[in-house]
Amino acid sequence: MVGRAELGDFLRKCRTDTTPEAVGLTCQAGQTARRVRGLRREEVAQLAGVSVDYYTRLEQGRHTSPSEGVLDALARVFQLDAAARAHLADLARPARRRAQPVPVQRVRPALQQLIASMTEHPAFIIGRRTDVLASNTLARALLTDWTRLPPRHRNYTRWVFLEPAAREAFRDWPAVAAEVVGTLRLYAGRFPDDPLLSELVGELTIKSAEFRTWWNGHQVHERTHGSKHMVHPAVGPITIRYEALALPGDDEQTLFIYTTDPGSASHDNLRLLALWATEQPAAGPQVTRPLR
């Protein structure tokens, strides 16, 4: 999935999105109007301190192993944040000769017990490819019951794009969807040989025009914290804040914890949802079985 073309595509997107004004370039009197959006290749090369031929070869996929110094210079020119800089470094790694099998992820029993004990806060664990590895009762009530889905469908990105209920759950669905695509892009750069990721991206590209557009946009996003505006059919609107915590022992597993502001209507509605969830028929096991 991530080969020579990916680095070039990402650099072209960064160049297109960077305005001359952002890097201190101004149009001089008498100059003709710019024919390209963003920066020209020669402008990027000059600002980064490399030759135009060298940068052109990077964009065309004819050179895919730039030095750290070159990567730092390009990140400075394009004003990349930490996540985008890390993604650039991933794409610039030497090509691998053959894919390595990706081991199955499992959630430790102690972590399973930890999120199960959180009765007032939705909590779930996301793994590679945004697979949902475990979730507590309140998270399943707020989002969806992952344990009732086929193993291949227990994926947060897939749910966001292909399940109509997800579009109804998020009042800011476009923002949520675009961010999760950016998260998947980060993973794709880090694990270019994951065949299950290729299957997921292929399915979503075919079935969702929105996913296809955002995926081709090459934006990256690292979820650390934030807020989401949701609506649950049983209790109404809920504005949640989330924290994304990397788990010790497996930095590819992330614990998401949802909270609400004390005394707010959202806090009251989340408590109502917890009561509503206890009245529903018994769900499947708390742990989402490994996908493979």
C-alpha 50: how far from its chain's center?
31
| Region for residue 226 given its phi and psi (left: phi exceeds 0; alpha: psi -120 to 50; beta: otherwise) | left
Check residue 152 and give its pLDDT: 87
Check residue 251 and give its pLDDT: 79
CA distance 5 to 127: 27
Name the token pair of 109.
């029993």
208 three-state secondary structure: coil
Contacting residues for 5 by C-beta, under 8 A, at least 6 apart = 61
Name the token pair of 158.
């897939």
In what helix (H) or strand (E) does residue 238 lie, and over which residues does it extend?
A: strand 236-247
Q: Please give the model's pTM, rounded to 2 decimal places.
A: 0.83
In what helix (H) or strand (E) does residue 188 lie, and over which residues does it extend?
A: helix 173-190
CA distance 254 to 119: 19
Check residue 95 and give its pLDDT: 56
What is the arrangement of strands in the sheet containing 236-247, beginning at the earlier edge strand?
Answer: 132-135, 123-126, 250-259, 236-247, 225-232
Name the token pair of 24.
């201190």
Instruction: Return the CA Rg of the chain.
Output: 22
pLDDT by position in tens, the chain (length 292): 445 688 889 999 999 999 888 888 776 544 556 666 789 999 999 999 999 999 999 988 887 678 899 999 999 999 999 999 999 998 988 655 455 667 788 899 999 999 999 999 999 999 999 999 999 999 999 999 999 999 889 999 999 999 999 999 999 999 999 999 999 999 999 888 888 999 999 999 999 999 999 999 999 999 899 999 999 999 999 999 999 999 988 878 999 999 999 999 999 999 999 999 887 765 444 444 444 4
Q: Which residue has 């994304």 as its token pair?
A: 244
CA distance 136 to 116: 5
244 three-state secondary structure: strand
